[in-house]
């Protein structure tokens, strides 16, 4: 079984809809992250959480919100989806500084 899972893997939605992307991990890591990836722009940080009570905005948090339901679960919501949120979304986990970040398989989102 994969250590970091994301659901759904693919999603098509319409402008204005609220959607949630979910991330679960069995690695026991405290730190969890949400990134989006667009062609030519690399990975950009949306939100990150160091534990259940510690949630922080990344460089592109506008239009997104998150929830850390438990150590193992970190969800990303698009309150009112817009077409420029079409992207590949990755969840990642990490134990601490200087440690590797491990990525989930990604969610491909298309907003029409």
Partner 1 sequence: QKEVEQNSGPLSVPEGAIASLNCTYSDRVSQSFFWYRQYSGKSPELIMSIYSNGDKEDGRFTAQLNKASQYVSLLIRDSQPSDSATYLCAADTGRRALTFGSGTRLQVQP
Q: Which residues bind partner 1 (CB under 8 A)?
A: 31, 33, 35, 40-43, 45, 48, 56, 58, 88, 90, 92, 94, 97-98, 100-106, 108
Closest separation in Å from C-beta 111 to partner 1: 18
Closest distance to partner 1 from the beta carbon of 16 (Å) = 27
DSSP state of 22: E
If DSSP states are collapsed to H, E and C, what string results for 57-84? Answer: ECCCCCCEEEEEEECCEEEEEECCCCHH
Distance CA 38, CA 54 (A): 27
Query: Residue 91 CB, nearest distance to partner 1 (Å)?
Result: 9
């Amino acid at each position: 079984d994969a250590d970091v899972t994301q659901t759904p893997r693919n999603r098509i939605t319409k402008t204005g809809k609220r959607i949630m992307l979910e991330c679960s991990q069995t690695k026991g890591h405290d730190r969890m992250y949400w990134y989006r990836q667009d062609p030519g722009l690399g990975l950009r940080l949306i939100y990150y959480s160091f534990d259940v009570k510690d949630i922080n905005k990344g460089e592109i948090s506008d239009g997104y919100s998150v929830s850390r339901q438990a150590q193992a679960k970190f969800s990303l919501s698009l309150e009112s989806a817009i077409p420029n949120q079409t992207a590949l979304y990755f969840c990642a986990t990490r134990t601490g500084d200087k440690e590797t970040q491990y990525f989930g398989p990604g969610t491909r989102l298309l907003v029409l």
